[in-house]
Homo-oligomer: A and B are copies of this chain.
């Protein structure tokens, strides 16, 4: 009878890719699952939506009729989510800040102080988001503003200001052959097994695998959703992982050592918000982040939260 919006999203993905396999990997589900769901949608509508003749997948007339409605419904649902989140944030005067690693860098005390002066009725709420979401929770409306590492999806939907630029370091298990060195050229690390962000992280995953600095893709042995998971895997000797310099300093563990990596472009921490979100609080927050970094010299800013 009624449909799950997820299934409409599946349908649109297949209609766009005209391939079950590609659509499935874009949606981060298995191909049989996608086939099953589309079949189920077809049987609930009592008609075929795609013509599959072994080598090609094309929309039927019925599929074409559904496509515009499906996209509209998905879009309307996303509008609904954001409207609801906005109403809540506005009346509660709460700005939800998404972050992936710890934030640190002296941002929090500085920004809260400034927000307290400019918008005394507003409060900040912090929510840790998974590495798997490249928009750090902005796309789904779970957060109003995010402090995250670039790149974020460059679709015009998001706007950002760089807050900090830091060299990339590496986390190694204590017993590792290179753990004794004071700094390590990336060329010596390239063939090591790596811990990666989930595939859904997209360009951000590639950045922390330093794919731009390789000839052949990195050897990924495990995936982690957050820093603690990845440190645990490093300590267990499963693989190694790159991380920003500041995080190396604040995340000290007895079983993991951090070393600078030579020859990599630096990483950039940014404050990000939805381009369409014109609320004053968002801009005050972003401005505060940017300003805070002007006042403090690089060395003095490493205050873990």
Instruction: Give the complex CA separation of A76 and B9 in angstroms.
Output: 15
Interface residues of A in 69-92 (CB under 8 A from B): 69-70, 72-73, 76-77, 79-81, 83-88, 91
A4, B4: Cβ atoms under 8 Å?
yes
Q: Does A65 contact B (CB under 8 A)?
A: yes
CB–CB A80/B84 < 8 A:
no
Confirm or deny: A180 has a beta carbon within 8 angstroms of a beta carbon on chain B. Answer: no
| Interface size in chain A (residues, C-beta < 8 A) | 33
Nearest B residue to A90, CB-CB: B61
- Contact of A91 (CB < 8 Å), options: B1, B46, B61, B84: B61
A76 near B72 (CB under 8 angstroms)? yes
Given A6-B1, A73-B77, A80-B70, A46-B142 contact (CB < 8 Å): yes
Classify the secondary structure of A's interface with B.
helix
Q: Flag if B69 contacts A76 (CB, 8 Å).
A: yes
List 22 A-B pairs, Cβ < 8 Å. Answer: A2-B5, A2-B77, A4-B4, A5-B5, A45-B81, A46-B85, A46-B88, A46-B142, A47-B88, A61-B91, A62-B84, A62-B88, A64-B87, A65-B80, A65-B84, A66-B83, A69-B76, A69-B77, A72-B76, A73-B73, A73-B77, A76-B76
Cα-based distance from A79 to B140 in the complex (angstroms): 26
Cα of A79 to Cα of B1 in the assembled complex, Å: 13
Report how far A9 CA is from B3 CA in the complex, Å.
11
Residues in B with CB closer than 8 Å to A81 are 45
Name the B residues within 8 Å of A45 (CB-CB).
81, 84-85
A69 — nearest CB in chain B belongs to which residue? B80
Instruction: Please provide the chain A residues from 1 to 55 with a CB less than 8 Å away from any CB of chain B in the complex.
Output: 1-6, 9, 45-47
Across the A-B interface, the 5 shortest Cβ-Cβ residue pairs? A69-B80, A2-B6, A2-B5, A65-B87, A47-B88
Whether the pair B77, A3 counts as a contact (CB closer than 8 A) is yes
CB contacts (< 8 Å) of A1 on chain B: these are 6, 140
Q: How far is the CB of A110 from chain B (nearest CB, A)?
A: 27
Contacts of A88 in B (CB 8 A): 46-47, 61-62
Say how far A228's CB is from chain B's closest CB, in angstroms.
23
Contact assessment for B2 and A47 in the assembled complex, using a CB-CB cutoff below 8 Å: no
Distance in Å: Cβ of A216 to nearest Cβ of chain B: 35
